[in-house]
Each structure stands twice: as C-alpha cells, then as structure tokens.
Structure 1
Amino acid sequence: MAICPVCNGLREAYLMCSNCGDSMIESGRLMDFYDDYSPYMEIDLMKMEDGFSDTNSGQKCPHLYRCPTCHQDEIIFIKE
C-alpha cells in the first residue's frame, strides 16, 4: 500500500500559480472538500467512489492548491 508523502507530512510540494506566478498554498486532499464526512473516510475508497479510480492504479493522490493572490485553484496529483 502506497502512502501520499504530502498527506503524511513527509514532504511539501511548492508550486507557482500558472495565472499570476505567486506561490500556491496546499489546501488538502481534494476529496476532503466533498462533504462533512469525506475527511474521515478511507482514502482508497474515496478515490474509487469519486471517479479517481484511474489515480488509484497510478498511485496518485489529488490535492487542491490555491493561490492567495489571484484565488485560482489547481488540482495537483501527488505521486504516492
């Protein structure tokens, strides 16, 4: 079983906004924003339920990054 290094605090990913060039802030797993209980559900189950089954086979974890300057959101797939 692979683990996401960003979810588990093993490393940070630094990204620049494609719109304004400012550094983006990691806001958590994409699945955590779906409903009140999604942060507490099994990660692999959430990937399969929410259409990320292709990321499951590729061992990638979708994270939401936000730009504090222009408020653009980007989904980045972190390799597990």
Structure 2
Amino acid sequence: MLICPVCNGLVDYNKKCPLCGNRMEILDRIENYYDSYSADLPYEITDLNDGDPSYICKHIILCPSCGYRDVEGIYNIQK
C-alpha cells in the first residue's frame, strides 16, 4: 500500500519560495479543496479524480511571506 509521507507526517517539508527565498508551507491535498465534502472521502476515491498516477499526492504549497502559491507533487512511499 502506498501512502503520502507528507499527509502522514513522516517527513518535514522544506522548500524555499522561488520569489522571496523564505520557507514555504505545505497545505492540504489539492483534492480536499474540490468541495465541502472532499476531505471526508477516502483517498482511493479522490485519487481517481485528478488523473495523476496513484504514486503522486498533490499538495498546495504557500509562501506565508509573499503569498506565492503552487502545487507540489509528492511521491508516495510503501507503507
């Protein structure tokens, strides 16, 4: 079974903002922002909606300093 190391708190996300150089924060999975019920659905269902391979978990990343946003694909790992 594959799991996202970010969703499961196994790694500390550390990426610098390309605009200002400050540390970016990783937010929730992008699928959780589809609608008000998306966060309650199992990953097996929401993973089918994005068209990405099952070994990628996409997260929104945000720079708290300058407001830059992007989407980061995190490789899932074997549980």
**What's the TM-score, normalizing by structure 2?**
0.86
**SS of equivalent to 2:71:** strand
Aligned length in residues: 76
Secondary structure at 2:2 match in 1: coil
Structure 2: runs of 5+ lacking an equivalent = none
The one-letter amino acid of 2:17's match is C
Q: State the structure with bigger RCO (CA 8 A, min sep 6), 1 or 2.
A: 2
Match of 2:70 among 49, 56, 74: 74
After superposition, the C-alpha distances for 1:23-78 in whole angstroms (9 at most, x for unaligned) are: 101111111111111111111321212xx22332xx01001110011101111111
Calculate the aligned-residue CA RMSD, in Å: 1.1
Give the alignment's TM-score, normalised by structure 1. Answer: 0.85
Instruction: Select the structure that is richer in helix.
Output: 1
Q: Which runs of 5+ in 1 are unaligned?
A: none
